[in-house]
Chains A and B, each alone.
Chain A
Amino acid sequence: KQEVTQIPAALSVPEGENLVLNCSFTDSAIYNLQWFRQDPGKGLTSLLLIQSSQREQTSGRLNASLDKSSGRSTLYIAASQPGDSATYLCAVKASSGSARQLTFGSGTQLTVLP
């Protein structure tokens, strides 16, 4: 059974720092990996989706990488801002052919201090 782990559970950094959030998964047979942002009491917003054939995706100050063989993904946030404060979740989609299989990590709660 696929398991997704995100460490650390919480992270606090001063504004302007570059930071890396980590995601690891136990089964490397994935279809894609998504990074989401969740603000308190809200739903999830998709940030980046990396297909299994890709190594990374970029959107603005965000860069996500994928290493399937080692079961790891990182989300790099450049020049962090207080508005980046949120919980970041990663989710992997199994390659079994089912449309349902997204397995989520429990998230990293990020606080960017002004």
Chain B
Amino acid sequence: DGGITQSPKYLFRKEGQNVTLSCEQNLNHDAMYWYRQDPGQGLRLIYYSQIVNDFQKGDIAEGYSVSREKKESFPLTVTSAQKNPTAFYLCASTSLRGQTDSNQPQHFGDGTRLSIL
């Protein structure tokens, strides 16, 4: 079945440590996104990528980094510079169908919950 796989489901970070969250999709989608969700709040965009080897900062990119070496994969690294990393992280993707903008819905993975040790 096609979908988005995020791993791990739960992740713990020690002080000063970088951690990487995995996101893989087999939907052949062009664009991929990383969001952060805090309790009782909506999603906030961290980074997004429309094409391999290219990505743009979202609204809250500080303390995070990404790469897009393959169309299927968009890993997110939470660096030690992110002082408040505890949150639920969601990866999403969508088909652009050759257009910069698209009326295709975003599809989401099941998320990774990150906590500080």
Binding site for B on A (CB under 8 A): 4, 9, 31-32, 34, 36, 41-46, 49, 51, 89, 91, 93, 97-100, 102-107
Give the bracket for the number of chain B residues in contact with chain A: 20 to 34
Residues from chain A with a CB closer than 8 A to the CB of B6 are 43
How many contacting A-B pairs (Cβ < 8 A)? Answer: 67
Chain B proximity of A38: nearest CB distance (Å): 9
- Please indicate which of the listed interface residues A9, A44, A98 has the most CB atoms of chain B within 10 Å of its own CB: A44
Query: Is B33 among interface residues, defined by CB-CB distance under 8 A?
Result: yes
Q: Provide the bound-state CA to CA distance between A107 and B38, in Å.
A: 12
Q: Are A43 and B42 in contact, with the CB atoms below 8 A? A: no
Contact of B58 among A93, A100, A107 (CB under 8 A): A100
Residues from chain B with a CB closer than 8 A to the CB of A51 are 103
Q: Are A105 and B108 in contact, with the CB atoms below 8 A? A: no
- Please indicate which of the listed interface residues B56, B96, B103 has the most CB atoms of chain A within 10 Å of its own CB: B103
Q: Are A105 and B42 in contact, with the CB atoms below 8 A? A: yes
Closest Cβ neighbor of A87 among chain B residues? B40
Residues from chain B with a CB closer than 8 A to the CB of A34 are 105-106
Residues from chain B with a CB closer than 8 A to the CB of A97 are 100-101
Residues from chain A with a CB closer than 8 A to the CB of B76 are none
Binds A, one of B12-20, B62-70, B78-86, B109-117: B109-117
